[in-house]
Structure 1
């Protein structure tokens, strides 16, 4: 006659199957948690990103106005064409200087 404990024992294959099913369920739950966390962080970052883009656009507009003001001020001294060219050269010079600075910093990272 079999002992009372033999009824509770299940085959090893069935136990491994249950373990695999529970592991899959756990992995799906973790993935769902990670996805929900990422979506919450993305939603929280939308408004600051929009404000940042808007401020960058206004910064660009300010630089354009500054360059136009410089060109108009120089136009009264050297003429409109020369004033515009001088303002453009100054702007391009600043842009080139910033490009060189960025390239130098990028090379330092290597």
Structure 2
């Protein structure tokens, strides 16, 4: 009987490791595709809702500007609406980044 050499055994081990890694990657890809397929309709509906919300916010800003124009004039009304919109967006971005930042903070060292 001809037994394999250590080099052949290590080569076989490397090939088996590669095959296992490729199988694991294929499994994760397949799982991701399945999850995306299940969520597809929901994602489309959420994107549609965001578009409708955006249109509603634009209509609200235009209405606010038109209503203010009768009180302070069209230019001032536009500026007031612009400042309110930018201020709201700025606050949301600051709060959003404050909530995101901890997720990317360095992890504390594990103590033995």
Q: Quick one: distance in 2 between partners of 1:30 and 1:85?
A: 57
The aligned counterpart of 2:76 is 82
Q: TM (normalized to structure 1)?
A: 0.67
Q: Quick one: distance in 1 between partners of 2:29 and 2:98?
A: 38
C-alpha distance 90-31 of structure 1, shift in aligned 2 (>3 A): closer
Q: Would you say 1:44 and 2:71 are equivalent positions? A: no
Q: Quick one: distance in 1 between partners of 2:84 and 2:26?
A: 54
C-alpha distance 95-29 of structure 1, shift in aligned 2 (>3 A): closer
Q: TM (normalized to structure 2)?
A: 0.66
The aligned counterpart of 1:67 is 61
The structural deviation recorded for 1:93 is 1.0
The aligned counterpart of 1:6 is none
Q: Which has the larger radius of gyration?
A: 1
C-alpha distance 88-41 of structure 1, shift in aligned 2 (>3 A): same
Among 1, 12, 36, the alignment partner of 2:3 is 12
Among 83, 87, 98, the alignment partner of 1:93 is 87
Structure 1, unaligned stretches of length 5 or more? 1-9
Q: Quick one: distance in 1 between partners of 2:68 and 2:56?
A: 18
C-alpha distance 95-30 of structure 1, shift in aligned 2 (>3 A): closer
Q: Quick one: distance in 1 between partners of 2:52 and 2:2?
A: 71
C-alpha distance 31-75 of structure 1, shift in aligned 2 (>3 A): closer
CA-based RMSD: 3.1
Size of the alignment, in residue pairs?
Answer: 100
